[in-house]
Structure 1
């Protein structure tokens, strides 16, 4: 059967079939491209969050730390006492929220992770809620903890191994190339998967790098290797 223009119906069906086939091939590719674009946008926002945390730490140094000391949140609920400090990276970063230096709880969440602090409720307004360590999803980033300085001295400066158990104040004397914070390694992985993802790493000079899975273990990297001083 031919159309008024002389084109056979079978020819039209073939053309339609070709377009349908091309469409089925293009849709998944477009979905993958859109997924990559969305993840890249989330990485940029994650980098922005870490930049804000770096600015918050600089403000703390200037306004609260006598231009020498970073936060040492002992005494806040859930962070131990002067005699027995007990805080991890999440609590160290959260001290910027408790001191109102960074009032936006969203800055503490990686946009690629499913983490939530329920608008800051899970972070507490004056220390950890109920005096217990922060819930795993309240802060998406690892950072310095109560033993970080001692671990850094023992692991990277070759000091006595006993230093690794010491709880020493966190001073503004780290080299600029030393990591200050990073995406945490509490499951799930923030960016991608173990064999194809990565993590954002913030340094003491405030720059941020993106390390892929070929450089860092996305499930256990915090507390090891280059990130040995960080804690979830």
Structure 2
């Protein structure tokens, strides 16, 4: 039996060089794809914010209060349905706007969003973002106020963000982050050190306590 020849130092070094060169090629591509997904997510949230900002101009300075055919009672509608309202009224025609590029979510080309209210198929993957909901009908101190959601929230208050349902939209709980859109249409990236990517939505006293998935 022939004895296997051991690698020489030169061959070993050449192998390391090849591996290093491959990593130098792969890492930038991976980072570029990650940033492209984040940028696409920012555009989606900005588009939704602009549509939600425009709607009150036609509705007595109130945001879409609740889904058609339903009443504004406790647990009646969630943040995803509030975002979906701009699809129901035609302010956003493209259902892909509601899907974060960093997820495997799908609304089946709008079929699961519905046409005027949330259908039975409206689930956690229909919309990738969290938004205001019935508990958001509060004043600055958190006291409940009846009626539709007014358009007088402060500009530095979040109106939507990546949701915290299912898998994390961007990265992991220890190495990821999320996009947050404010009422002034500003979108900011928040790292996992700034917000809890699994439970941050809807929790006091965090930044996203008035939002719901």
Same fold (TM over 0.5): yes
1:129 paired with 2:124, answer: no
Deviation at residue 226 of structure 1 after TM alignment:
1.1
Aligned counterpart for 2:197 among listed residues 187, 204, 218: 218
* Structure 1 match to 2:176: 197
Deviation at residue 14 of structure 1 after TM alignment:
7.4
Preserved CA contact (<8 Å) 2:157 2:182 = yes
* Structure 1 match to 2:81: 91
Aligned counterpart for 2:30 among listed residues 16, 35, 40: 35
* Structure 1 match to 2:155: 176
Distance (Å, rounded) in 1 between the aligned partners of 2:43 and 2:142: 34
* Structure 2 match to 1:69: 62
Deviates more, 1:167-176 or 1:193-202: 167-176
Distance (Å, rounded) in 1 between the aligned partners of 2:72 and 2:123: 23
Deviation at residue 23 of structure 1 after TM alignment:
1.3
Deviation at residue 169 of structure 1 after TM alignment:
1.7
Query: So what's the TM-score if we normalise by structure 1?
Result: 0.81
Distance (Å, rounded) in 1 between the aligned partners of 2:132 and 2:142: 19
The structure carrying a bigger helix percent of its residues is 1
Deviation at residue 30 of structure 1 after TM alignment:
3.0
**For the pair shown, which has the larger CA radius of gyration, 1 or 2?**
1
* Structure 2 match to 1:103: 93
Preserved CA contact (<8 Å) 1:105 1:117 = yes
- Unaligned 5+ runs, structure 1: 1-12
Please list the CA deviations of residues 180-223 of structure 1 after superposition, one character each: whole Å capped at 9, or x if unmatched: 00000002000000001000000001100000000000000000
Deviation at residue 125 of structure 1 after TM alignment:
1.8
Preserved CA contact (<8 Å) 1:146 1:168 = no
1:157 paired with 2:147, answer: no
Distance (Å, rounded) in 2 between the aligned partners of 1:126 and 1:189: 29
| Aligned residue-pair number | 204
User: 1:85/1:191 Cα in 2 relative to 1: closer, same or farther (>3 Å)?
Assistant: closer
User: 1:57/1:129 Cα in 2 relative to 1: closer, same or farther (>3 Å)?
Assistant: same
- Unaligned 5+ runs, structure 2: 1-7
Query: So what's the TM-score if we normalise by structure 2?
Result: 0.87
Preserved CA contact (<8 Å) 2:65 2:72 = no
The residue matched to 2:130 in structure 1 has which SS?
A: strand
The residue matched to 1:186 in structure 2 has which SS?
A: coil
1:148 paired with 2:120, answer: no
Q: Please give the root-mean-square deviation of Cα atoms over the aligned residues, in Å.
A: 2.1
